[in-house]
Structure 1
Amino acid sequence: MSDPKKIVLAEDNSIFLLLLKFRLEKEGYKILTAVDGKEAIELIEEHSPELILTDIMMPFISGLEVISHVRNKLNMQTPIIVFSSAGQEEIVLKAFDLGATDFMSKPLSPNELVIRVKRLLP
């Protein structure tokens, strides 16, 4: 059996983070969690995950800066799904400009997230 696919999950809401971690681990993924963008970048550099899930609004380093770092500094083509509260169209467009693969608005359905993850990690 192959190793489980690694996903870095960056979310500053600890309850939401645990909910998504639990749901994705149930599907067989290895979830590396970060509570801010700085931690996310450290995990990405250390583990080269197959997928990155990040909130946009986080302490220290935002999700947008995480996307920029992954695409421009690390030159990684890893798929990135960003989440953000509704009504922030400008930020969403910026995320896509920086290289985000997909976007989900909060509150989001963990089941829908699993479907999108499976689409990106066949």
Structure 2
Amino acid sequence: MPKSILPPHQQVTEHIQKLDPAIIDMVEKLRHIILDTDGQIAEQIKWNNPSFYYNGEMAAFDPKEYKRDIAVFNLHKNRVMLVFPSGAKVNDTTGLLEGDYKDGRRLAMFTDISDVEAKIVALQMVIRKWISLIKK
């Protein structure tokens, strides 16, 4: 089946299977943590990487504002980064989010599977705070 015909979930699975084996377990663990955080989070390939977005009801907005986008992977050998395009709007008291970019994005870095496991609560807290800010 051509990639464009596959459902988004399957496209993400195929993308992950082609990654450097050193980071596959980390990416899969993060994927499941994010999807398990809220039933209205969906996944797709966007910006050439797995990404997560809110697929529930929202007030109308300009699609170029990326208000639906929660996080997108930025994947490198032996390092996994989650980019939150509008992460600056979240009052992150956990210290998970890093960076102070003018465009409003913030980053979360993960070095290995134990680092991912140590940050589960913080990651889910940041995502829930992000979702709570959505204008519905």
Give the helix-richer structure, 1 or 2. 1
TM class, shorter-length: 0.3 to 0.5
TM-score normalised to the size of structure 2?
0.37
TM-score normalised to the size of structure 1?
0.40
